[in-house]
Amino acid sequence: MERCNWKSLEYSQSYRLYHDTEWGTPSYDDAYLFEMLILESFHCGLSWLIILNKRESFRSAFGNFNPLIIKDYNEEKIKNLLNNKNIVRHEGKIRATVNNSHCFLQIEKEFDSFSNYIWSFTNNKIIYGGDNPLVTKNDLSDRISKDLKKRGFKFMGSVTTYSYLEAIGVLNNHSKNCFRYKEK
């Protein structure tokens, strides 16, 4: 079975599983969309494998990725998270997660779901790319990032937004020879 040419796929079973079953799979589930929003914002500047290996710890630390829980995190909870050695202890990203939970819920209210919002940028179509691993942002990620920032989101620049769009399947950037690349 041929996969994308990612070095980490050779030695990490969890990375292979993520590639084979999640990355680039279109998601319309708000719970998953929020989970990936959190994980991608923590991914900024770090290896995805670090985040992936800490995913369950993030899940535990951040109320099972429930924005209704996270929005109420207070200073004491933030201090506890900053002392949690099992997650990435970046104060700006932790505070951004609390902030972004409020913004996410506002979008859900305005668009009936976050899925409706995020997929509206492509008229509910998957954008196929692949074969150019040097691309880290594009016009779509620029537009969405700008809109997210306008709505108050933090740590969602164009590069992070691009990675997020890949993760949730708005962008299918599997290599064209990868078994996961199935242009419709």
Q: Tell me the pLDDT tens digit for each residue of 145-154.
A: 999 999 999 9
- Out of 6, 28, 48, 128, pick the active-site residue: 48
Question: Does position 159 have pLDDT exceeding 90, yes or no?
Answer: yes
| 128, β-bridge pairs | 172
Query: Any idea where the domains of the chain sit in the sequence?
Result: 24-172
Tell me the whole-structure pTM to 2 decimals. 0.96
Class of domain 24-172: mainly alpha
Question: Does position 60 have pLDDT exceeding 90, yes or no?
Answer: yes
Q: Give how far Cα 46 sits from Cα of 4, 97, 155, 181, Å.
A: 20, 17, 13, 26
Q: Is 40 a catalytic residue?
A: yes
- Under the banding of pLDDT at 50, 70 and 90, the label for residue 130 is low
Q: Is 32 a catalytic residue?
A: no
Q: Is 48 a catalytic residue?
A: yes
DSSP structural state of residue 128:
E
Amino acid at 119: W
- Out of 15, 18, 162, 164, pick the active-site residue: 18
What average pLDDT score do residues 90-101 get?
98
- Note the pLDDT of residue 46: 94
